[in-house]
Structures are given as structure tokens and as C-alpha cells.
Amino acid sequence: MLLSNLLVVVILMLFAGLVYYVRTNRLWRESAQSLWKRRPIAVTVVGLYFVVGILDSVAWVGGVDLSKTQDVVAASKPRTIIDRMFSPETRSERSYSAPFASKEFYGGADLTHPGSYWLGTDRLGRDVLYLAFKGVKVALLVGGLTSLIVIPLALFFGVSAGYFGGRLDDAVFFVMSTLAAIPGILLLIALITALGKGTLQVCVALGVTGWVSFARLARAETLKLRESDYVQAARALGVSDVTIIMRHILPNLSHLMVITFALLFTALVLSETILAYLGIGVDGSWGQMIDQARDELSRDPIIWWNLFGASMALFILVLSVNLVGDAVRDILDPRTLRERE
């Protein structure tokens, strides 16, 4: 419990640091402003998802009347703010009910909480909206955590290969082309089959599959930058390699990072749904919800809200990130940068 709260603090501090950095740097500030001008809705939506993810990570114990609850165990465990908002321990039904319904879908018995489920309830009578909200954290974890593992790793290998060249470059390039030669989904499957099932394993597997393309980009870009005048100058002045990389190379790769992050994120979240279908996804993900709900389409009358809830949550997130990523690319594209300066 403490750990997840601590993590939230760390993430928020990182975020604050990022905001501060963006505000102080003219170029980034302008970019951020122009992003906001172009895609106010998409940015807000991404922000909202982020907030939900954070709210679903801050947890503490207590606050439930044990005599009223359907789920003594959950009530005595740390519960997140999202849990508290939806209080699934007391608010659940026996089985399916349609959005805003006051009666059960089958049998027509009265609901215990009529009209309070915006997206209906699933087979076990759980609030679909709540489950969709819970999926946010999983998606951010899968997409975000993996990206956060991948990008530093890829930067490290890509930049050092590009900068130092020689044997190191050959070795890194060989590993990259080896991994890139294995079709992504097969590599994922092979990794998860060998590593076992679980959130961390899925993230690691996604990470191993995902880092190559970015590392390639970083390597190519570093190769170019290494030959640039100011790096040459810095070298001539005897500035150490590490300093050059930190001062001159990394900042020039930052736009790549942002763009890759957006692309990688959506790809990861979408890949997870395929893994969920194969039974090796992450528990509580939208992919799992879609997989559970896919058979419900053939019910008569049709049960659509479960599939709808999960796929809309997924769709909106991916769409917004795509839109934001797209705008970021337009704004940060080196050519536009050059034109502005």
C-alpha cells in the first residue's frame, strides 16, 4: 500500500519537474502552448486518464461499514480513491443489467442500486464503468511503464552505439537486427511462454520487443549529431564524452523521445488486447474485458455495454494519444524547428 502511494508521489514529482522544465525552456514552452492550441480536447482527455490512473493508485485502509458489505476482504484492504468513489463492496448486483436499468436483465428482479450503473453491470453484477476505470491504471502501466523501461534502455544502447561506433556499434546493431528479425507478436508470445504469465512479465516482454525500433532511430540520429559542428567543437576543446552526450546529444533527441513514446504507448496498449485473447494478458485490462465480452454479442437480446465500455475506454485513450502524438510530431519535427529558429 505504501509502495503504490510512494510511487504516486514519485510520479507526481517527476511530472512537476517536467512541467517546470517545460515552462523554463522557451522552445518547449512554445511547443506545449502550440500543442494546447491545436489539440485541447485530446490533451485534456489524456490528462483525465492520467488523473484516473493516479486516483486509482492512492490507497488506504478503512472507511467501509463491515456489516453492510458484500465483500469483507476488499473492505479491509487498502482501497484506492476510485474504489471509494464506486464502492464496489456494497454496490453490486447478481448479474447482467443494462445501463441505467432498474431491473435485472434476465429475470427482471429489482436491482439493489437501480439506475446507478451508467454502463450497466457485467455477468458477475459488477459495475462496468468501474471496471473500465480500473482498466485505466493497467493500460497506463502496460503502456507507460513499458515505455519508461524501453526509452532509457534504447537511448543508452542507441546513443552509445552511435556515438562510440566501432565494435560496440557492431555488437548493438547485431543484437538489434536479431531481435528485429523476429516478428513482434511471435517474439512476445515466445517470451511470455518462457517467462510465465503476469503483469511484470508482460511488461518485460513488451519492452524487449519494443526497444529496438527506438534504439535504431536514436543510433541513426546520434550518428548525424556526432558529425555536427558543435559536437566536433566540443570534442576539440577536450570535453568528456559523457558531458557531450548529456549536453549536446540527448537534448537533441528529446523530440524523438516524445514522439516514440506516443507511438509506442498506443502500440503496446493495442498489443495487450491480442495477448489477452491468447490468455497471456494482464489481469483487469481492457483486453481481458473485451475478450470476456466478445461472446456476449451473440446473446439475444444483445449485451453490448460490456464490450462497449472496454473498447470505448481503449479507443478513446488510443485515439487521444495518437492525436497528441501526431500534433507533437508536427510541432517538434526538426524541419519545423529549423524553420522557426
Partner 1 sequence: MVAYIIRRIGYGFLTVLGVLFFLFILFFAVTDPDDIARKAVGERAPPEVYEQWKRNKGYDKPLFVNTEHGWLSGGRYTDTLLVDHYTRMLTFQFGQSDADDALISKRIREGAGPSLMLTVPLFLSGMAVAVMVSLFVSFFRETYIDRMALVLCMLAMSVTILLYIIGGQYLIGKVLHWFPISGFDPDPTIVYKFLLLPILVGLVNGLGADVRFYRTVFVEETTKDYVRTARAKGAGEIRVMGNHVLRNALIPILTQIVVAIPFLFTGSLLLESFFGIPGLGSLTIDAIFGNDFATLRTMVYIGALLFVTGQILTDISYTLADPRIRLE
Partner 2 sequence: MTKSISRSSLWVVIGVALAFLTACDNNPYTPDDSSKKILYTWFREAPKTLDPAVAYTTSSHQFTGVIYPSMLEYHYLKRPYQLTPSLAKSVPAPEVLPNGYVRYRFDMREGAMFEKDLCFEELAGVEHREIVASDVVFQLKRVADPAINSPVVSVFSKIAGFDEFIKALTEARAADPDFSSRRIDQQYKEAGDIEGLKTPTPHTLEVTLKEPYPQILYWFTMQFTSPVPWEAVVYYDGQDGRDHLRDHPVGGGPYRMASYNKQFRVVLERNPDWWGASPAHRGAPGTVYPSEGEPGDKERGRLDPKYVGQPVPFIDRVEFRREKEAIPSFGKFLQGYFDLSGIIQESFDQVIKNDQLSEEMVEQGVRLEKSVSPDVFYIGFNMDDPMVGHAAGERGRKLRQAMSLVVDVEEFKRVFTNGRGVPAQSPVPPGVFGYEEDYQNPFRVVDKEKAKKKLEEAGYPGGVDPETGQPLRLTFDTADTTSRGLLQSQFYVRAWRTIGIDVEIKATNYNQFQEKVRNGAYQIFNWGWVADYPDAENFLFLLESGQARSVSDGPNTANFQYARYDALFKQMKTRANDETRLEIIREMKDILAEERPWIELFSRENYALYHGWMQNVKPFGMSVPFYKYWDIDPDLRTENRAAWNRPVLWPVYVLVALFFAILVPGIRTFYRERQ
Measured from the CB atom, the residue of 129 and 289 that comes closer to partner 1 is: 289
Alpha-carbon distance of 35 to 38, in angstroms, equals 5
Grid cell, residue 194, equals 518462457
Kindly state whether residue 187 participates in binding partner 1, applying the rule CB under 8 A.
yes
CB of 210 vs partner 1, minimal distance in Å: 14
Return the bridge partners of 181, or none.
Answer: none
Cα–Cα distance, 150 to 208 (Å, whole number): 8
Whole-angstrom Cα distance, residue 128 to residue 309? 7
Residue 66 touches partner 2, criterion: CB under 8 A? yes
153 lines the binding site for partner 1 (CB under 8 A)? no
74 contributes a contact to partner 2 by CB under 8 A: yes
319 counts as binding partner 1 under rule CB under 8 A: yes
Give least dist CB 293 to partner 2, A.
9
Any idea which residue has 505504501 for its cell? Answer: 2
Which does residue 179 bind out of partner 1, partner 2, none, counting CB within 5 to 8 angstroms by kind? partner 1
Q: Which of partner 2, partner 1, none lies near 72, with the C-beta cut-off 5 to 8 A by kind? A: partner 2
DSSP 55-83: HTT-EES--S-TTT-S-HHHHTS-EEHHH
Q: How many residues at the interface with partner 2, by CB under 8 A? A: 31
**Applying CB under 8 A, does 112 fall inside the site for partner 2?**
no
Residue 301 contact, options partner 2, partner 1, none, Cβ 5-8 Å cut-off depending on partner type:
partner 2
Q: Does 301 bind partner 1 (CB under 8 A)?
A: no
Break the chain down into helix, strand, coil percent, rounded to 5: 75, 5, 25
Question: Which H or E run includes 193?
Answer: helix 184-195
CB of 286 to partner 1, least distance (A): 9
Q: How would DSSP label each residue in 131-189?
A: HHHHHHHHHHIIIIIHHHHHHHHHHHHHHHHHHH-HHHHHHHHHHHHHHHHS-HHHHHH
Q: By C-alpha distance, which of 280, 263, 318, 313 is closest to 203?
A: 280
From the list 56-64, 93-101, 141-149, 278-286, the region that binds partner 1 by CB under 8 A is: 278-286
Options 7, 185, 220, 233; binder of partner 1; rule CB under 8 A:
185
Contact pattern from residue 185 through residue 214 relative to partner 2, giving x for each residue in contact according to CB under 8 A and a dash for the rest = -----------xx-----------------
Crossing angle of helices 40-55/2-24, nearest 10°? Answer: 150
Positions 79 through 118 that interact with partner 1 (CB under 8 A): none
Q: Which amino acid is at 127?
A: D
Specify the 3-state DSSP secondary structure of 121: strand
191 contacts partner 1 (rule: CB under 8 A)? yes
| Residue count (the chain) | 341
Are 214 and 260 spatial neighbours (Cβ–Cβ below 8 Å)?
yes
**Distance in Å, CB of 218 to partner 2, minimum:** 37
Q: Does the protein bind partner 1 through residue 204 (CB under 8 A)?
A: no
Grid cell 453491470 in the structure block, residue = 121
Among 173, 203, 225, 227, smallest CA distance to 334 is for: 225
Question: Which region, judged by CB under 8 A, interacts with partner 2, from 43-51, 256-264, 295-303, 322-330?
Answer: 295-303
By the rule CB under 8 A, 168 interacts with partner 1: no
Q: By CB under 8 A, is residue 247 in contact with partner 2?
A: no
- Give the residue, chosen from 88, 135, 144, 287, that forms a contact with partner 1 under the rule CB under 8 A: 287
Contacts with partner 2 by CB under 8 A lie at: 66, 70-74, 76-77, 94-95, 106-107, 123-124, 196-197, 276, 279-280, 283, 288, 291-292, 294-301
